[in-house]
Amino acid sequence: MAHECKIKSMKLSFFYTLLLAWSSWWSKLVQDQLFDLIWERLPSYHLK
């Protein structure tokens, strides 16, 4: 029984690690996209 619990917690921690890695990658991707968008818009705002 304890062995099964250990496997379960290992699977959970693996899942959480994957989730964390994916979310950090995703947030970096989104930040880069937003930064590019804002950076492209900035010159036109300054020119007005």
Q: Could you report the per-residue pLDDT of 1-42, keeping only the tens digit for each? A: 678 899 999 999 999 999 999 999 999 999 999 999 988 888
| Whether the model pTM is above 0.75 | no
Is residue 4 one of the residues assigned to a domain? no
Element (H, E) at 25: helix 2-47
Q: Could you give the number of structural domains in the chain?
A: 1
pLDDT recorded at residue 45? 61
Is residue 32 one of the residues assigned to a domain? yes
Residue type, 8: K
Reading the block at residue 42, the tokens are 């900035």
pLDDT recorded at residue 3? 83
Per-residue burial over 30-39, b if 16 or more Cβ lie within 10 Å, else e, is: eeeeeeeeee
Range of 30's domain? Answer: 22-48
